[in-house]
Structure 1
Amino acid sequence: MACVSCSVNTNKYKCSKCLAPYCSVECYKKHKQLPECGDIAAATAKAATAAQQMETEPTIYAPFSTEDTVPLSRLQQLNNCEPLRQLLYNPHLRALLQQIDVAHNANLTMMAAMQEPLFVEFANACLQVVEPMTDAERAELNLCS
């Protein structure tokens, strides 16, 4: 990166207002006197505010609806599920969930997580809230057990 005042390549310092790079105290003083510093800082703050307002989904992809999409009202019910809360106290489960969240191959990571009884218990607790079993499904499960 080039210093905003003298154009020397530097990575030493950045302006606290506009994050422009500078290489020395002299260059910083010159830069602070310029009106561009305040303008850039205002534009950066405005862009950050706009980005926060637009960000409604914590994922990088826009949500799209499929037959498997769970309605938001059902997802919000997970917040009130006490068995699920108890499971989330387990640090091993939280670590598994973090690994899945950042995995490059989420499908492969999910398959590995499904080998963990704790994760299966977590998935079942989520499913009981999001998609409860019908009486017929419960009876069929009891026959298989």
Structure 2
Amino acid sequence: FPKHYIWIQCNTFHGLNASLMCSVAHIPFRKREFTGFIVVLLVDQKEYRFATYNRSKLMGIQNKKQSIALIFKKNRTFLEIIGKKSESGSLKAPKKGVMNTEIQEILDGEIVLRLYQNKKLLFEGSGTHAGIEIVGYSPIKPLNT
């Protein structure tokens, strides 16, 4: 498992045909390391993809006790994700090849999304029953906007 990562998944958006998958993680690569990510927002069968490999940017992360906010940018398109945390459950996770650590997984989180293109709001929606895991990001890492 990575040193730190964020995973958010939501397929239940009220009255909207939308789904979100967001993964941000520490990536060791050769003698270097970086924060890599892939985010896919699907709205009415149209895909918006923000990823390290397509030169998107992670503009900031703000992890608070009750919420997490992330902002991604690809060209002139911005995606804002706000995850509202609920009660979490413990889940065993590997560390150095042994399942000897626990992480907290939220299975009933809430999500608010805003997608902008050229400063125009393209999509705004809220979702429920979201899966949220945040490991290694201590509150608060300031937003870099």
TM-score normalised to structure 2 length: 0.21
Q: Which has the higher contact order (CA 8 A, sep 6+)?
A: 2
Structure number, greater radius of gyration: 1
Q: Which has the higher helix share?
A: 1
Structure ranking higher in strand proportion: 2
TM-score (normalizing by structure 1): 0.21
